[in-house]
Amino acid sequence: CLLWSFCFMLQIQVRNLKHSLRYFLTATYGVHDFPEFVGAATVDEVQLGYCDSNIKTVKPKPDWMRKLIEKNPEHMEWYSQRCLGYQYYFRVNIDFLKQRLNLTEGPHILQRMNGCEWDDETGEVTGFNQYGFNGEDFLALDLKTLTWTAPKSQAVLTKLLWNDDKATLKHLKNYYIYICPDLLKNYIRHGKSFLQQTENPSISLLQKTPSSVVSCHATGFFPGRAEMFWTKDGEEIHEDVEKGEILLNNDGTFQMSVELNVSSVPPDGWRRYDCVFQFSGVGDDIKITLDKSLIRTNWGKTHRCDGTTSLGHHVWSSGAVNEHFLILTNYICYADTLMCVYLSF
């Protein structure tokens, strides 16, 4: 949902960056109106495919990924088997954790994020495998020592058991150092024209009331490797600043916000502040100056979206999102009517 926008179209050259292949797996117990299992894969923050326990099949997302699977149907079979297999594996592990930790009532959520990064300039490869349980870090694989680490005491027993399984540890090392990077390079090769394109954001300054924080909101940008921050007299500031996470729009672009508390800023000092957006590895910045004439505030009124940016969802996120509406920083936008209502709370 885009209410007001200031477009800055720049010619930007994409430099060499680290590429990533990530798998997100989530299993739930006692969570109503949500699949018991959800899996997704991303390359450079672009979703490759999705599966869950309701649809029971893998859905490839970008066109180039669909074409890749058409040429290599065994690739689809591999993902389908993993999706179905992990549903059972995660369900067993949730039952095990409930019993061992004496957990009766839900909800309970077990998550895993694993994958690899590859620097196409230096050739450096790194792998990762992390588990979370009920919103907290649970287990992580250290590939340098080839051991599991447990930040929580509840995970120590599992850590000891998994560290004794030397054969599996060797298999994991081989996967993250060789197999995963090869998969990533293959995806980069097939999706190069799509993954290397750049879409610049539309940027808005939003404020609930004259005494509220000012939210700098960027949407419609691609890729998702980007930063946004506030500066004063050209220097980045951190005090009185709160950054939001990068969220995925339904059209494959991204959005993010960064807030500035202006309660202590004198009226004649506003224009010393700029909201700056930049793609990672790219030198050109997109700026909008803190100016009261540019700030949009419309308490309690309803506006029609212009459809520039689609409503969307984000995997492994705590944002308030479903298929019918999306709550942005200050607005709730309805997908069926394309109407956005300003939130006054």
**Residue 150's CATH number:** 3.30.500.10
Note whether 185 and 241 are same-domain residues.
no
**Residue 238 pLDDT level (bands cut at 50, 70, 90):** very high
Higher pLDDT, 230 or 33: 230
pLDDT at position 298, please?
Answer: 61
Boundary residue ending a domain (143, 166, 194): 194
Number of domains in the chain: 2
Boundary residue ending a domain (147, 177, 194): 194
- Asked if the model's pLDDT at residue 300 lies above 90, the reply is no
pLDDT at position 289, please?
Answer: 96
Note whether 247 and 124 are same-domain residues.
no
Note whether 189 and 224 are same-domain residues.
no
Note whether 207 and 161 are same-domain residues.
no
pLDDT tens digits, residue range 134-162? 999 999 999 999 999 999 898 999 999 99
Note whether 181 and 229 are same-domain residues.
no
Note whether 165 and 287 are same-domain residues.
no
- Does the CA dihedral 81-84-86-92 come out positive or negative? negative
Residue 6 covered by a domain? no
Higher pLDDT, 76 or 49: 49
Note whether 97 and 110 are within 8 A (CB): yes
- Asked if the model's pLDDT at residue 287 lies above 50, the reply is yes
Cα 49 to Cα 42: distance, rounded to the nearest angstrom: 7
Note whether 324 and 312 are within 8 A (CB): no
pLDDT at position 17, please?
Answer: 67
CA-angle at 42, arms to 68 and 190, nearest 5°:
30
- Asked if the model's pLDDT at residue 9 lies above 60, the reply is no
Note whether 51 and 175 are same-domain residues.
yes
Work out the average pLDDT over 306-325.
33
Q: Mark 39-61 as b/e (b = at least 16 C-beta within 10 Å).
A: bbbbbbbbbbbbbbbeeeebebb
pLDDT at position 185, please?
Answer: 93
Percentage above 70 pLDDT, the chain: 79
Residue 2 covered by a domain? no
String of DSSP letters for 282-312: ----EEEE--TTT-B--TT-EEE--SSS---
Cα 37 to Cα 88: distance, rounded to the nearest angstrom: 9
Percentage above 90 pLDDT, the chain: 43
Note whether 204 and 174 are same-domain residues.
no
Domain that holds residue 41: 18-194
Work out the average pLDDT over 187-195.
78
Residue 55 covered by a domain? yes
Note whether 135 and 213 are same-domain residues.
no
Note whether 333 and 322 are within 8 A (CB): no
- Asked if the model's pLDDT at residue 319 lies above 60, the reply is no
The residues, ordered by sequence, that sit 6+ positions from 319 with a Cβ below 8 Å of its Cβ are 245, 247, 327
- Asked if the model's pLDDT at residue 64 lies above 50, the reply is yes
pLDDT at position 299, please?
Answer: 52
Q: Which pair of tokens denotes residue 85?
A: 């297999």
Work out the average pLDDT over 45-63.
80
- Asked if the model's pLDDT at residue 93 lies above 50, the reply is yes
pLDDT at position 255, please?
Answer: 94
pLDDT at position 283, please?
Answer: 58
pLDDT tens digits, residue range 107-139? 999 999 999 999 988 999 999 999 999 999 999
Higher pLDDT, 6 or 274: 274
pLDDT at position 282, please?
Answer: 62
- Asked if the model's pLDDT at residue 339 lies above 60, the reply is no
- Asked if the model's pLDDT at residue 70 lies above 90, the reply is no
Coil, helix or strand for 121? coil
Boundary residue ending a domain (149, 173, 194): 194
